[in-house]
Structure 1
Amino acid sequence: MELREIEIFLTLAEELHFGRTAERLRVSQARVSQSIRKAERQIGAPLFERTSRRVALTPIGARLHSDLRPAYRRIEEGLARAKAAGRGVTGVLRLGFEAPGVADLITSTLDTFRTGNPECEVQIREADFTDPFAKLRHGEVDALITLLPADEPGVVTGPTVYSEQMVLAVSSRHPFASREFVTLSDLARDTVLRAAHPPAPYWQDEPWYTPDGHPVRRGEPVATFQELLSAVATGAGICPLAAHAADYFGRPSLRFLPFRDAPAVHWGLVWLASGETTRIRALATACA
């Protein structure tokens, strides 16, 4: 039996009416009758009992329907998935950002994804400042753009989407404010403020030391990024930040000084291993 003949048989087995089957499949009743007769010749036994009043499955027809229906459903699902892949992914992709400004910095990447997947809507979400993985763990976002490395249980690290240098945020009244640059060793000369999630792995160790071995005095973590900037502006301490902060959060009370010797930081796409979808894989491909 060919695929179309299987479809006609399964539909007639559900409708038990030649007219309704023909209407549902948009073919003639003669086409339905011919297909069923052909199938019965191939099987070597009647599949339906036909009278002027009713159509019913024979025991062989009922068994054939039971065997073919699950297999045909899998074929339909497979074809639907293939068609969806040909069109691009669909639905909604909720994408969290640890630093909302990075969403602007990777506009071209997001445009590439949207162009290739026009039926998929990307919704931008801001991640929690002190716990950027919270929305990911709670299912409020599907994927997250965060600082790498992302050392979280059950989290898959995808491609790096953006890399940039570090700057040091200081008060405009700070002794460093007139400098052209700073070094990592300068971190030992003041209190270093931070969020709960530091901006680079070499600031996560307990305790912190500069590359030349001097201890770094750290302030208490703050609750929001605006609180962090306000604390720096009032002279409570200094803070290493990703360089785009200078463009997005500049104000007269702050100075952002480039590091001469700090390695670059990298923002990457991550997601829960248990929550991987075709949408996430398509975004990872666009980011690569």
Structure 2
Amino acid sequence: MASQQQESLLEGKVAIVTGSSRGIGKAIAIGLAQQGANVLVTGTHPERTKAVSEEITKETGQQSDYYIGDLSKEENVAEMTDKAIQNWEKIDILVNNAGGGVILPFLEQTPETLKTTIDRNLWTMLWSCYKVLPHMVEQNYGRIINIGADSVRNGLWDHAAYNAAKGGVHAIVSGLGREFAKSNITANVIAPPAVEGELLDDIRDRDTKLVNRYIDIIPIGRGAYPEEVADAVVFLASDKASFINGQVISVNGGSTMQ
């Protein structure tokens, strides 16, 4: 007798992954689609964001669309949310990955770089939760997964301003997790350390010693691979994680423990 094919973890689900035109976000969007979700990809680079959406459909067979815009602006997040609803009539999974701080010693920051860091990391997440949650409440189901940062716990060099923003990304899940649990909605954080890829390579090109300091605190001796972060997100998005709520889960190679 032929064995029955195992059903995908996210069959029939709809996901928004913010900041998913490259790096961790792209890996997450692909990982969710591989498990059966239809995915809205977002970014600020039109060609790259469109290409990721097309790649997802080609490689996984799942439906995918894309939204271009600065998600620190309320009106853009409203448009993003509406696009997902128009396409699929629901939103089951929201992954708040959009971010990217200006990494500098604190007193080298300017008012502009401080605002940029808060906008990219905190406001993108706040507006996305604010616009998507009403749809999750209405359908009595939702999974919110924020991508945080292990630097919030380990006090990484030059990350004070970034940690101010990511600290909010961490903190909100305890409030959301308690407030919306009775609507079958969970909220959690995945907190990675330095992540291997294009962005870390850019820093490595400018300051190899600084990147070595980031890596040296990770006992495994390297940054996380985007797919390792994505695997944790897929698990939290699935019904296998239905009793995990309001948690910060470190996927960090041991750079902080307990």
TM over 0.5: no
Which of the pair is proportionally richer in strand? 1
Normalised by the length of structure 2, the TM-score is 0.31
Which of the pair is proportionally richer in helix? 2
| Structure with the larger RCO, 1 or 2 (CA within 8 Å, 6+ apart) | 1
Larger radius of gyration: 1
Normalised by the length of structure 1, the TM-score is 0.28
